[in-house]
Chain A
């Protein structure tokens, strides 16, 4: 029984870990994108 538990824990940890990792990567990139856009806009207004 504990083997079954271990196996399913492993499956969920892997899947959730990957989803979390994807989500974090997405958030990071969104922030970076936002900053980049802002710096572009600033430059655009100045010129």
Chain B
């Protein structure tokens, strides 16, 4: 038998993407800290919003990618899609964690309470649990095929569940009197621009992490394959 020399290669534009991410992030940080004016009422703390909102948006986007990858996997049975869903779910959990950490810090600063059962924050928390469950499912099936199939099924169910979770939590909040609401944030054009740049920076970062994660997963499956062959003979 021959040893094929197929070490997975890095994506062609890996370095381009890395630099683009770095530069946009640097610009975003500059805009947030040096350029954009403070929000009138909340003061400097309001600057959390730029990266908080960007992470929330990307978390949601990653989970959407998980669902698309899951459907594609079940249709085509190509493990490529499974890897995309897995990496995307992991990044999504990372961004959700960022939202869940920065949200309370912002809340503490602007309305003096770490946690409010505000509908957006609560939905994010449930989202976090759903995708942690997704990752737990992956770790509890050692077989490649089962892992891919069952996590794909859960990836679809979890995403279908999100809008109804959101609605039920919103209704729940409207019944109970809310002491504080997080809405009401007057944005002037410079703030919108900063938010857009932060969003772009985080989106690039998402794609950077995604391709990096996919690359790592490819090596990992290659290692698994070689190990299996080693035990075979």
A38 to B167, CA, bound (A): 57
Chain A's closest residue to B46 (CB) is A4
Instruction: Report yes or no: B45 in contact with A11, Cβ–Cβ below 8 A.
Output: no
B176 to chain A, nearest CB (A): 27
The count of A-to-B residue pairs whose CB atoms sit within 8 angstroms is 83
Contacts A7-B105, A11-B55, A22-B212 given; indicate if A33 touches B94 (C-beta within 8 A). no
Instruction: Report yes or no: B222 in contact with A33, Cβ–Cβ below 8 A.
Output: yes
Chain B residues with Cβ under 8 A from A1's Cβ? Answer: 44-45
B232 to chain A, nearest CB (A): 12
Interface string of A1-43 (1 = CB under 8 A from B): 1011011101100110011001001100110110011011101
A9 to B219, CA, bound (A): 32
A1 to B109, CA, bound (A): 9
Instruction: Report yes or no: A7 in contact with B102, Cβ–Cβ below 8 A.
Output: yes
A46 to chain B, nearest CB (A): 12
Judged by DSSP, the binding face of B is helix
Chain A residues with Cβ under 8 A from B209's Cβ? Answer: 18-19, 22
B143 to chain A, nearest CB (A): 20
Instruction: Report yes or no: B51 in contact with A8, Cβ–Cβ below 8 A.
Output: yes
Instruction: Report yes or no: B3 in contact with A4, Cβ–Cβ below 8 A.
Output: no
Q: Interface residue count for B (Cβ, 8 Å)?
A: 37
Instruction: Report yes or no: A10 in contact with B101, Cβ–Cβ below 8 A.
Output: yes
A10 to B52, CA, bound (A): 11
A10 to B209, CA, bound (A): 18
For window 43-71 of B, CB contacts with A under 8 Å fall at: 44-45, 47-48, 51-52, 55
Chain A residues with Cβ under 8 A from B109's Cβ? Answer: 3-4
Interface string of B1-35 (1 = CB under 8 A from A): 11101010000000000000000000000000000
Instruction: Report yes or no: A15 in contact with B105, Cβ–Cβ below 8 A.
Output: no
Instruction: Report yes or no: B48 in contact with A4, Cβ–Cβ below 8 A.
Output: yes
Chain A residues with Cβ under 8 A from B44's Cβ? Answer: 1, 4
Instruction: Report yes or no: A26 in contact with B223, Cβ–Cβ below 8 A.
Output: no
Instruction: Report yes or no: B106 in contact with A7, Cβ–Cβ below 8 A.
Output: yes
Q: Does B115 contact A (CB under 8 A)?
A: no
Q: Does B108 contact A (CB under 8 A)?
A: yes
Instruction: Report yes or no: B98 in contact with A25, Cβ–Cβ below 8 A.
Output: no
Instruction: Report yes or no: A15 in contact with B223, Cβ–Cβ below 8 A.
Output: no
Chain B's closest residue to A1 (CB) is B44
Instruction: Report yes or no: A44 in contact with B2, Cβ–Cβ below 8 A.
Output: yes
Instruction: Report yes or no: A10 in contact with B216, Cβ–Cβ below 8 A.
Output: no
